[in-house]
Structure 1
Amino acid sequence: MTLYSDPRLVDLYDALNPAAADTAFYLHLAQSLDAARVLDIGCGTGLLTCALADRGHDVTGVDPSAAMLAVARSRAGGEQVRWLEGDAHAARSVDADLALMTGHVAQVFVDDTSWRQTLSAAYDALRPGGCLAFESRNPACEPWRAWTPEASRRCIESQKYGRVDVWHRVVDVTGERVRFATHYRFERDDEEIVAESELRFRSQTALESTLREAGFVSMNWYGGWSREPVDAASRELVVVAMRD
């Protein structure tokens, strides 16, 4: 099963991915850049998108999942956002001051062609001097080693579905690519859903190279949500890149 093709998994998304330090980082970034117009690429259920709109930004959210966008549109403040179904190419004409790719969306683009095309589309969607910001997990930390049933298991209580146990299991690691399965065990219905995913773990050097190829001329890198410098122990590679 493809992740978020099942409406039950879409319904659980916000409980598994609540607002956290990354949300605060991107909200502060939009404010500090005085970004009047913001593009949220891979906006999902629109948690950050609507929070940006609530703070007075003119926001466009784009996502390929119709099910995720349905949740986003129904969220409080969803009527303030322009929602587009598709990928970054659907938003080339936005002329944004700031484009965001949050929730490790950057890692979903596992092949180089789709990644370069996405960066190109993001570049085109920005006004001259606009910025693209996103994060990617630092491969130096090998975070997938913690994606075992024992280490990753968590439980959520859903009003709709009752108790749901969730855990990860790595299927394969090949170079920078990691395939893994996420298990969702619905206790009340005695049912288990398994969704397979694949992510690309690019190094800071590789990310910077592709950003420069796309036309981004300057970059600020952080190793976490407190804007600390990147070092060998950094869990995240967070970048704010400016286009020419």
Structure 2
Amino acid sequence: MNAEPCGDELESVPQAEFNDPRLVPLYDLQNRWGADDDFFLALSHEKPASRMADVGCGTGRLTLALAQAGHHVTGLDPARASLNLAQQKPDADQVIWLCGTVETLPTSAFDLILMTSHVAQYFLSDAEWAQTLGHLRRALVTGGRLAFDSRDPAARAWEGWDSGGEREIWTLPDGQQAETWATLDTVSAGMVTFTGYTHFLTTGETLRDSDTLRFRTEEELRSSLQEAQFEVEQLYGGWQRQAIGAGNGELIVVARAR
């Protein structure tokens, strides 16, 4: 199905890696199927033929796998360029694609909502996060589940994000080559700002993309979920369901709508 038009919503998600058609194919190269996808796909199998929403679905890597597994899937993302690429992939017609934010989701429509690839960390303020959780609860049936990942601030993952000037070279699907590198800019009060750079070797153009992520603690996640009428069922520290602090530096939440 065709994605709904975004209008001016594109400006509300400034991340160029999701919105710039030149960078979206690069995102796919840099973010291949991994242990996180295995985890969320296995979780989806616990109830066959579920009604699911993949919030922040991006270019549809996991979304399409969910549909291929027999689920009834809606892929939601505010980035038009990412959705355009997702819709060009095999079996894309099995998914309902929506261009928008969580307010777009219908009420009491889903058994399971996934929010993967650390999308939760893009909601920076407590008010924005609370509003997001409220809409996710509204979109779930009572007893439905929400699952998402957020990096554990105790693991200090950002310390490895500055490339120190070293660059990686990528060959894009159109044959063009690009080199990428990143800088860590600021770390303050649970907020981490970093900048990614992409230099296209053919044109000589360099794109700069600065992002800020919120690192919430386990206690902050639990409290916010409780206030939004969720009950935390599981909270893991890694993709093999390890305890917090003993896994991959993750906080992986599975919560049920009360």
TM-score of the superposed pair, with normalisation by structure 2: 0.89
User: 2:47, 2:23 → 1: CA distance?
Assistant: 34
Query: Which residue of structure 2 aligns with residue 31 of structure 1?
Result: 45
Conserved? CA contact 2:86–2:92, under 8 Å: yes
Alignment partner of 1:215 is 2:229: yes
| Structure 2 counterpart of 1:22, one-letter code | D
The match for 1:149 among 135, 149, 163 is 163
Query: Which residue of structure 1 aligns with residue 91 of structure 2?
Result: 77
User: 2:251, 2:167 → 1: CA distance?
Assistant: 25
For 1:72-221, what aligned pairs fall within 5 Å after superposition? 72-93=86-107, 95-150=109-164, 153-221=167-235
Structure 1 unaligned regions, length at least 5: none
1:116-175 Cα shifts (integer Å, max 9, x gaps): 111111111111111000000111111111111238743322132533222221121121
Alignment partner of 1:2 is 2:15: yes
The match for 1:55 among 52, 58, 69 is 69
Conserved? CA contact 2:48–2:70, under 8 Å: no
Identity of aligned residues (%): 40
- What is the deviation of 1:215? 0.3
Structure 2 unaligned regions, length at least 5: 1-13
1:3-46 Cα shifts (integer Å, max 9, x gaps): 23321111211111111111111110000243611110111111
Number of aligned positions between the proteins: 244
| Structure 2 counterpart of 1:27, one-letter code | L
The match for 2:252 among 219, 222, 238 is 238
Conserved? CA contact 2:19–2:82, under 8 Å: no
Partner-residue secondary structure (3-state), 1:209? helix
Change in CA separation of 1:233 and 1:48 when aligned onto 2, cut-off 3 Å: closer
TM-score of the superposed pair, with normalisation by structure 1: 0.94
- What is the deviation of 1:93? 2.4
User: 2:166, 2:221 → 1: CA distance?
Assistant: 27
| Structure 1 counterpart of 2:231, one-letter code | V
The match for 1:66 among 39, 61, 80 is 80
Change in CA separation of 1:96 and 1:56 when aligned onto 2, cut-off 3 Å: same
| Structure 2 counterpart of 1:214, one-letter code | A
Partner-residue secondary structure (3-state), 1:149? coil
